[in-house]
Amino acid sequence: MPATLVGILVALACVMLGAITHGVSPVFLVSNVTALLIVIGGALGATMASFEISATSGVFKAIMKAMLPKGLPDGAVNIGILVEFARKARHEGLLSLESEIAQVDDVFMRRGLQLAIDGSDPEAVAQVLKTDIKAMKVRHKVAADWCQSYGIFAPTFGIIGAVIGLIATLAELDHPEKLGAGIAAAFVATFLGVFMANGVMLPLANRLKRLSAQEVQGRELVMEGVLAIQGGQNPRVIEETLISYLSPKEAAAIRDAGSGG
């Protein structure tokens, strides 16, 4: 379920309904071109200035992943694959897995198993896999930091927009009938800046951090399984070790399936 997208839409809907209850038109809040340019464009420019161009171009893909996730690796499925490989390796030897790993969809798992089958030192295999996980965390952090920076800049540009609006309004003191509308329009920029930060970009940053943590946990599970297979551990012990990475509900489901079988 795209929880992030749903959450942002819920926040937007509630804010707009709240505005309506106070007699403020939602169209008025989102149709001020000057405020949109200052807040969205200004915050975008400031954030771009804080990162490399590659980070800015890549962040939109990350945002789409957060809004419409395609699904993370299934820990229970990976445990089943690793335990099956452990049984085969225990009875037929580690080299017997060579014909099997080509069918593994998980690139990280396939890479780790290939290193183990090739006879690499267990410490070397662990180092390679840990480095892979570390590099992935660094890549993920860039997108989360980008969204967080946008969320920090947006309210400030909202204030800038409000100041510019007030300056324009004060220039119309000879026309008192325009003051009310001018002041209202000026504060639209503040609203946009605060909402873009707290209703959109900061939640996206938190979601990207959460997705990264989940993916890291999934890879750590796989790494633990690969190293256990290479070490020749008992498949049952491997399964119990890897189950600890799952939620209690998922762990119970695996144990119930095993006892049922």
| Per-residue model confidence as pLDDT tens digits over 138-149 | 999 999 999 999
Residues 6+ apart with CB under 8 A from 259: none
Total-model pTM? 0.85
Cα atoms in the Cβ-side hemisphere of radius 13 Å centred on 217: 16
> Burial level of 107, CB count in 10 A (0-12/13-18/19+)?
exposed
In this structure, what DSSP letter does residue 173 have? T
Tokens matching residue 74: 């299934």
Which positions ≥6 away from 211 have C-beta within 8 Å? 65, 66, 69, 72, 140
pLDDT band at 259 (very low <50, low <70, confident <90, very high): low
Closest to 141 in 3D by CA, of 51, 27, 12: 51
pLDDT band at 256 (very low <50, low <70, confident <90, very high): confident
In the chain, % of residues over pLDDT 90: 60
Here the tokens at position 104 are: 């593994």
Contact 192, 161 (CB under 8 A): yes
| Mean predicted confidence (pLDDT) in 250-260 | 73
Residue 258 pLDDT class (50, 70, 90 cuts): low
What average pLDDT does range 223-248 have in this prediction?
92
State yes or no: pLDDT of 260 exceeds 60: no
Phi, psi for 10 (deg, rounded to 5) = -65, -45
In this prediction, residue 261 carries a pLDDT of 45
Token look-up 């929880």 returns 3
Check pLDDT > 90 for residue 103: no
- Which band of pLDDT confidence, cut at 50, 70 and 90, is reported for residue 31? confident
Contacts (Cβ under 8 Å, ≥6 apart) of 50: 149
Is 178's pLDDT higher than 60? yes
Mean confidence (pLDDT) of the chain: 89
Residue 150 has pLDDT above 90, yes or no: yes
| Residue 174 dihedral angles phi and psi, to the nearest 5° | -75, -10
